[in-house]
Amino acid sequence: MGKTVARNKKAYHDYEILEKFEAGISLEGSEVKAIREGRVNLKDGFIKIIKNEAFLFNVHVTHFSTTNQHFKPDERRTRKLLLHKKEILKLETKVAVDGLSIVPLSIFFNNRNLAKVQIALARGKKLHDKRESLKKRQAARDTAAAMKGY
């Protein structure tokens, strides 16, 4: 993985991450420059597979400041994800059979300066699971702080 531009912290809180994938994104116009500037929000994003193609929904990419006003792409448009057919079939069967969700975790630029999105198969957490993970995280912080003093 290269330079990470945006992370979806809410996904780690709301879901139990089972398996991660890397996918390319089909972008238009100045969206690459806007993403490079960090003008992207993954919080409400999700992925659906429609007719054996993966699409990224509800991810907000703000317009780049120097974009021509007449050629601005829609900020919340659906973007096609570029995955291998085997990966798409695997994701589709897991979602259909096991009832899992597909969520975006982060957007980054790889070594060849191509925008990529890290997606994950995830299972939704119940409220008690969220509380337990918060307790574990707090306990880890406390032990790290105690060890730092020694």
Gap between the Cα atoms of 104 and 19, Å rounded: 12
| Global pTM value | 0.82
- According to DSSP, residue 37 is labeled T
Gap between the Cα atoms of 118 and 107, Å rounded: 6
- Identify the band that residue 130 occupies on the pLDDT scale cut at 50, 70 and 90: confident
- Identify the band that residue 149 occupies on the pLDDT scale cut at 50, 70 and 90: confident
CATH number for the domain spanning 29: value is 2.40.280.10
Q: What is the pLDDT of residues 96-107, one digit of tens each?
A: 999 899 999 999
Count of domains observed in the chain: 1
Gap between the Cα atoms of 138 and 143, Å rounded: 9
Q: Return the closest-CA partner of residue 54 out of 12, 92, 110.
A: 92
- Identify the band that residue 148 occupies on the pLDDT scale cut at 50, 70 and 90: confident
Range of the domain at 109: 3-148
**Residue corresponding to tokens 């589709």:** 92
Q: What is the pLDDT of residues 60-70, one digit of tens each?
A: 998 877 777 77
What are the structure tokens assigned to 2, written together?
Answer: 């290269």
- Identify the band that residue 74 occupies on the pLDDT scale cut at 50, 70 and 90: confident
